[in-house]
Amino acid sequence: MKRIIYEEIEGKSRAFIKLAAALLGLIVIALSAAYYMEHNGHIVTGMNNQIVWGIPHVFAIFLIVAASGALNVASISSVFGKTAYKPLAPLSGLVAIALLMGGLSILVLDLGRPDRLIVAMTHYNFSSIFAWNMIFYNGFIAIVIVYLWMLMEGRFNKYSRQVGIAAFIWRLMLTTATGSIFGFLVAREAYDAAIMAPMFIVLSFSIGLAIFLLVLYAAYQWTERPIGMATIKRLKNLLGVFVAAVMFLVAIFHLTNLYAAEHESVEHFMLSGSGYAFIFWVFQIGLGSILPLIYFYHPNFKDDVRFMLRGAGLVLLGGFSQVYVIVIGGQAYPLELFPGYEVTSSFYDGEIASYIPSFPEILLGIGGIAIAGFIVLFAVKLLKFLPTSLADEDVDPHYRHKN
Amino acid sequence: MTQVKDLTDPSRRKFVGASVGVTGAMLIGPGIFLHQVAQAKPDAEAVTDKVRWGMLVDTNKCATGCDDCVNACAKENGWANEKGPDEVKVQWMRKVDLKEKSTGREASLPVMCQHCEKPPCVDVCPTGASFKREDGIVLVDKHICIGCRYCMMACPYKARSFVHSPVENHDDYMPRGMGVVESCTFCVHLVDKDKSPACVTSCKEKALLFGDLNNKNSEIAIRVAKENSRQIRQDLKTNPGVRYQGI
């Protein structure tokens, strides 16, 4: 194994400028959409007084959960001492910060009063999971920046393990708190489950790693730097384990609910009686979990990099669908105020709520992804995040020359 | 309303006057100041927890199809004039019609903020904009609500609404604005002047009774002590201040 040399990317090619311009364009469009929503009110969105959190929240939660998961590669290197992951650690931290910033931007721009962000920063109600999250999110960015500094500044390398452990613990708390946004909602039948927190943690492992794998591969392909199959395969195999773990927790969540008569109705809604059931079975489970596992482990596909990348993309589709089903589906199912009664009212009591995302909301969500992409793109141009080579002989401690 | 009058602690007024004076100095919307209210009589003292305001709804008297209480609430507090489709419209109060699945028995009742003793909306609010007064009234401080809607996710009674479009012509005593969350205030501006909420006075059937649950001599306390009544989602143990009879 050689000494790893990190270098900025050149960032002068036509493709780089095109990508930067495209991301910037998406960000400008998203900001315009947010201004349009802020100016006219949420009446221009698909959200209403029944579905109060819409597609922006799906994007935001997806990105925030993915952010903590993207840090895992660095944690495996610093906390668990796996040298094969060490060259990837700086990029892992960078992607984590970028995803979190993208997600938070969406969340803030979707507020009814985004102009009151300063209020949110100066008034804390410590019994609110949201208030805790604001501390976790900001703290995460701060800790990961320090962690990157320790990793990238030779003199401080010796501290990277300690800071890495702190970042790892912090990220676990962050995702626990994000899952608990829903886990603590006793009012709604689709939520109110302690398993939400570990489910979000494992979901973060899978979607964070899938994003990392795709970003890593794209960065090396586009800069024409060498990247070895051992690195990609190692990440792919780990991703498969995470995908299976998410499926396990999802199965336990639903089986537990199905066992209780009180949850029969909501389970029927989520698993068979609605469009959300379709999204669940087809996108979350079929395309987003089972198909990637086939791609990752079936002998016909498991060594083909194209299927590894497709698999990672499908994991993202599955994760996004999962967050959509939880956030939107969970709200669409009516609150049960009067068990044993049929109810009707002018406020849609007892009715399945409908929600169709509007264009501005979707554009705002895509803008969050663009913000994350833009941060990564410019950071790798400005600072030494990427090793010049990830070829197997350079980074793989188990590499043996094949004669 | 005699029990309300007798029990009103004049000390509350000073607190309300002072707090309105402070908030009145703040800008609540473009060009809108609460100057008029800020000069309200400063003769009250702080709200205390000796009082627990509550409401008893007798569904045996509440008529299906009648929504006088809802209309009175809308008129008093200036909502129901928002633009847009019904799904986005604000509803501080609504009539819910019930039909028991096993027996077919029907009932009708108003649902509004239940003014819980342990309100989930207050727990989850990140800025503390959702708060509970000492006398049990749950309110939204519209100056620090950031419009995140987490309280709406948490409320088990679907009692809160988000204002989706610009608001015009609101009253000084009930400032409203786009992008924040609202709900029934128990007509706090009236209660603080020893009056009953608008829904209570509007009900011809006398199905709604308002008063202090902590005062054993008040009509509401006497009735809930003697007659059967229940709270919505009693299982959640939020201990709402609104109780229902006949369901």
Q: How is chain A split into domains, by residue range?
A: 6-390
Residues A98 and A117: their CA atoms lie apart, in Å, by: 20
The overall average pLDDT reported for chain A is: 93
Please state the rounded mean pLDDT for residues B231-240. 95
Strand pairing category for B130-132 and A6-7: unpaired
> Is the CB of B225 inside 8 Å of chain A's CB atoms?
no
Residues A275 and A319: their CA atoms lie apart, in Å, by: 17
- In sign, the C-alpha dihedral spanning A27, A28, A29, A30 is positive
Please state the rounded mean pLDDT for residues A262-281. 93
In this complex, do B127 and A348 lie within 8 Å of one another by their Cβ atoms?
no
Higher per-residue pLDDT: A10 or A306: A306
Residue B36 clears pLDDT 50, i.e. is over it: no
Among the ranges A11-20, A35-44, B166-175, which has the highest mean pLDDT value? A35-44
SS3 B4: helix
Please state the rounded mean pLDDT for residues A27-51. 97
Please state the rounded mean pLDDT for residues A16-44. 97
Q: To 10 degrees, what angle do helices A196-222 and A305-324 make?
A: 140
Looking at chain A, which residue has its C-alpha nearest residue B232?
A337
Residue A261 clears pLDDT 90, i.e. is over it: no
Tracing tokens 């039948």 back to the chain, one arrives at A189
Please state the rounded mean pLDDT for residues A98-113. 97
In this complex, do A50 and B87 lie within 8 Å of one another by their Cβ atoms?
yes
pLDDT at A207: 97
Residues B105 and B246: their CA atoms lie apart, in Å, by: 11
pLDDT at B37: 38
Residue B31 clears pLDDT 50, i.e. is over it: no
Candidates B69, B82, B88, partner chain A, best to mutate (most A CBs within 10 A) = B88
DSSP-assigned letter for residue B63: P
| Tens digit of each residue's pLDDT (9 = 90 or more) over A61-80 | 999 999 999 999 999 998 88
> Is the CB of B127 inside 8 Å of chain A's CB atoms?
yes
Residue B29 clears pLDDT 80, i.e. is over it: no
Higher per-residue pLDDT: A272 or A185: A272
Kindly indicate the confidence band of residue A1, based on its pLDDT and cuts at 50, 70 and 90. Answer: low
User: What does the block give as tokens for A214?
Assistant: 């795709």
The overall average pLDDT reported for chain B is: 86
Candidates A40, A49, A104, A182, partner chain B, best to mutate (most B CBs within 10 A) = A49
Residue B47 clears pLDDT 70, i.e. is over it: yes
In this complex, do B236 and A186 lie within 8 Å of one another by their Cβ atoms?
yes
Residue B246 clears pLDDT 50, i.e. is over it: yes
Predicted model pTM = 0.90
Q: To 10 degrees, what angle do helices A55-70 and A129-152 make?
A: 40
Residues A274 and A329: their CA atoms lie apart, in Å, by: 9
Lowest-confidence region among A187-191, A206-210, A369-373, B169-173: B169-173
In this complex, do B126 and A130 lie within 8 Å of one another by their Cβ atoms?
yes
In this complex, do A49 and B164 lie within 8 Å of one another by their Cβ atoms?
yes
User: What does the block give as tokens for A157?
Assistant: 């390398």
SS3 A62: helix
> Is the CB of A48 inside 8 Å of chain B's CB atoms?
yes
Task: List, in order of start, the domains of chain B with CATH numbers.
Answer: 2-245 (3.30.70.20)
Residues A4 and A384: their CA atoms lie apart, in Å, by: 11
Residues 6+ apart with CB under 8 A from B103: none
Please state the rounded mean pLDDT for residues B229-237. 95
Q: How far is A186 from chain B (nearest CA, A)?
A: 7
The B residues from 156 to 175 touching A (CB cutoff 8 Å) are 156-158, 161-166
Please state the rounded mean pLDDT for residues B86-94. 94
Rg value, chain B, Cα = 18
Instruction: Give CATH superfamily name and number for A6-390.
Output: Formate dehydrogenase/DMSO reductase domain (1.20.1630.10)
How many Cα atoms within 13 Å fall on the side-chain side of residue B109?
A: 27
Residues B175 and B77: their CA atoms lie apart, in Å, by: 9
pLDDT at B14: 52
How much of chain A exceeds pLDDT 70, in percent?
98
In this complex, do B100 and A112 lie within 8 Å of one another by their Cβ atoms?
no
